[in-house]
Structure 1
Amino acid sequence: MTFDGLDYAPMQLADVDEVFAVEREVYPHPWTRGNFVDSLASGYSAWTLRDEGRLAGYFLLMAAVDEAHLLNVSVAAQRQGQGIGRYLLDKVVACARGLGAESVLLEVRPSNERALKVYLRYGFVEIGRRKAYYPAHNGQREDAIVMRFTL
């Protein structure tokens, strides 16, 4: 698939409602609208990807010393399986390099097999686990796999 017609732009406050709608569509335990508003207010690198005005995906990246922490990366449900996730990871890496980072860190649920495969194919490696990191069904908690991509 070609990505020439996609519009990649900084996330604005006006994008948050649409971003939040996609977030709720693709995750069983989504970020809150406030998480996105707070991330923008904190000055995190936040970007959207649109196709003919429709939101195809987004990511939020936090710089910390020599690392960039990928806080959230999501692809709209109807655009999954089309290479958008890898395209967004290319943008994440470019953004992290621009921030002077030497690596990108992220957490992913072990149950999110699709994302885990994308990260592994991209070159991220598991460096640890965070016990009971994510909320899960019925008040349970799910571990997080911590991954790093060295730039």
Structure 2
Amino acid sequence: MKSTGKIVETLLSSSQFKPLGQHRCYRLFLDLLPPRFQHAIAFVTLKNRRLMVGLSHPGYKMELNYNQELLKSLLSTLRAHRSECAFMEADEIVFFVSKYRRRPEEESATVPRYSELATGSFETKLENPELAESFLRIRHWIEKNRGQER
């Protein structure tokens, strides 16, 4: 019986799933980049021996133009160490601003919980009974909130 890894490798090596293997190589290339470039690049693809780099914002274009040699060296390093990425041979790198944006990783929607900092030890020597009752209610809520923390 074949292991799941062997089955996946067999599927990826078939011609109809070839783009999946290419996508994995593109992801590996993006993971090799410094974090500032990872945020700048929306996607990469290879076409006619050109590495097409879609940028998420036009402000990154000049900086990446200055660092083309870094991208070329990372591409050659990836080709040298990963045999499945040998197809990623590029003579030139083309940068363009893309409308496509990578979806930001969804942040978990949590309700922030804060601990009660008040102690509830304050004087309530007031002549107004409504005001005194309000202060007693506040003290009660403070004590209740401090009790929930423990």
Task: Tell me, yes or no, whether TM beats 0.5.
Answer: no
Q: Which has the higher helix share?
A: 2
Q: Which has the larger radius of gyration?
A: 2
Q: Which has the higher strand share?
A: 1
With normalisation by structure 2, the TM-score equals 0.29
